[in-house]
């Protein structure tokens, strides 16, 4: 009994939990720092190539209007395609970071390596172990979103029209979106079996991206009413629209309050689902 548990015995429940939580964060930061280049490539490649092809290569092609159907839509929407893409690509970066930082590793850890065991045996409630995954992934999402800015500034042939008039709104959208992405990753990671991991792209990532108002503003779907209503179940829509409202307000976008309510709703729903799934996978 008198062995050296003193340091942990002296602190109470809250202290124990806090230390364990930060211990996990520290480990994740440490590993991320070691794998910083793969991380940068993972978060940078998609927006880099997207902007390069659609806002630099295409406008330089002969007969660009015919080759670039989105040019017309963007023009009617009040900006160039780069302006449409900036918030959209940030939304994809945030969403994909959540999946890459939580879902993929979790599927591995549950199914193949069982590394999750040492984390679950921390002196920390299971829900907090899952919450750490969400919080750490949200940090990566914010970095990934921030990286889109310089790319969108330097690459497009015509400048992107972005300006922030409401900082608190932007910060709220960024934080909620990043946490939402982590919760989405947790939900996917706890429900998918290792052999189904390839399907995640086809069944989840591609549909929610293409139907997530990433490459077009939601308002532009007005002529396809059924689709405009249908995409409302897709949480990525609110991330894209939230960033659009915060960064490129000249584009048509959903009302601010509606966006925040939807983000909070989906964050709560996916956190609940993800934590339930996580608990089910680690406690029998």
Partner 1 sequence: MADAGLHTPVESGLVSEPIVDIRGLRKVYPGKPPVTAVDGIDLQVAPGELYGLLGPNGAGKTTTISIATTRAVPTAGTVRIAGVDVVAHPAMSRRAIGVVPQYNTLDRSCTVAENIRFHCLYFGMSGVEARSRTTDLLEQFRLQDRARAYPQQLSGGLAQRVQIARAIAHHPRVLFLDEPSAGLDPQSRIAMWDAVRALRSENITVVLTTHYMEEADALCDRVAIIDHGRILVEDTPAALKASVGGDKLYDLHLVQTADRERLAQQLRDLTGVTGVEPTMDGLRVLAQAREGLLPQVITAANAYGLRDVATAEPTLETVFIRLTGRDLRE
Contact residues toward partner 1 (CB under 8 A) are 1, 3-5, 7-8, 11-13, 15-17, 19-20, 23-24, 26-27, 30-31, 34-35, 113-126, 282-284
Query: Nearer Cβ to partner 1, position 50 or 110?
Result: 110
Q: Pick from 46, 29, 135: which is nearest to 96 by CA?
A: 46
* Integer Cα distance of 183 and 248 in angstroms: 26
From the CB of 190, what's the least distance to partner 1, in Å? 16
CA 242 to centroid of chain Cα atoms: 13
Separation of alpha carbons 63 and 67, rounded Å: 6
The smaller minimum CB distance to partner 1, of residues 30 and 265, is found at 30
Q: Spell out a b/e string for 180-214, using b for 16 or more CB atoms within 10 Å of the CB, else e.
A: bbbbbbbbbbbbbeeeebeebeeebbeebbebbbb
The CA dihedral of 35, 142, 267, 211, to the nearest 10 degrees, is -90
Closest distance to partner 1 from the beta carbon of 105 (Å): 9
Q: Which residue, 117 or 203, is less far from partner 1 as judged by CB? A: 117
Q: Quick one: DSSP state of residue 213?
A: T
- Closer residue to partner 1, CB minimum distance, 45 or 115: 115
Q: Is 260 helix (H, G, I), strand (E, B) or coil?
A: helix
Cβ distance to partner 1 smaller for residue 27 or 210: 27
């Amino acid at each position: 009994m008198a062995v050296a548990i003193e340091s942990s015995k002296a602190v109470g429940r809250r202290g124990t939990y806090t230390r364990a939580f930060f211990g996990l964060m520290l480990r994740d930061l440490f590993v991320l720092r070691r794998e910083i280049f793969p991380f940068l490539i993972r978060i940078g490649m998609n927006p880099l190539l997207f902007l390069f092809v659609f806002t630099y290569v295409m406008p330089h092609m002969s007969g660009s209007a015919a080759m670039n159907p989105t040019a017309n839509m963007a023009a009617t929407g009040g900006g160039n395609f780069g302006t449409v893409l900036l918030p959209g690509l940030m939304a994809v970066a945030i969403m994909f970071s959540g999946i890459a930082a939580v879902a993929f590793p979790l599927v591995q850890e549950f199914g193949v390596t069982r590394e999750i065991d040492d984390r679950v045996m921390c002196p920390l409630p299971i829900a907090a172990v899952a919450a750490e995954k969400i919080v750490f992934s949200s940090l990566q999402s914010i970095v990934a979103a921030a990286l889109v800015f310089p790319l969108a500034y330097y690459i497009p042939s015509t400048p992107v029209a972005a300006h922030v008039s409401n900082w608190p709104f932007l910060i709220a959208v960024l934080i909620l979106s990043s946490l939402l992405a982590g919760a989405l990753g947790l939900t996917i990671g706890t429900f998918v079996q290792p052999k189904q991991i390839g399907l995640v792209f086809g069944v989840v990532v591609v549909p929610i991206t293409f139907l997530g108002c990433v490459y077009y503003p939601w308002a532009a779907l007005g002529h396809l009413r059924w689709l405009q209503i249908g995409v409302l179940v897709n949480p990525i829509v609110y991330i894209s629209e939230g960033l659009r409202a915060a960064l490129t307000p000249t584009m048509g976008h959903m009302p601010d309050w509606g966006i925040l309510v939807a983000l909070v709703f989906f964050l709560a729903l996916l956190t609940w689902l993800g934590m339930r799934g996580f608990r089910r996978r680690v406690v029998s």
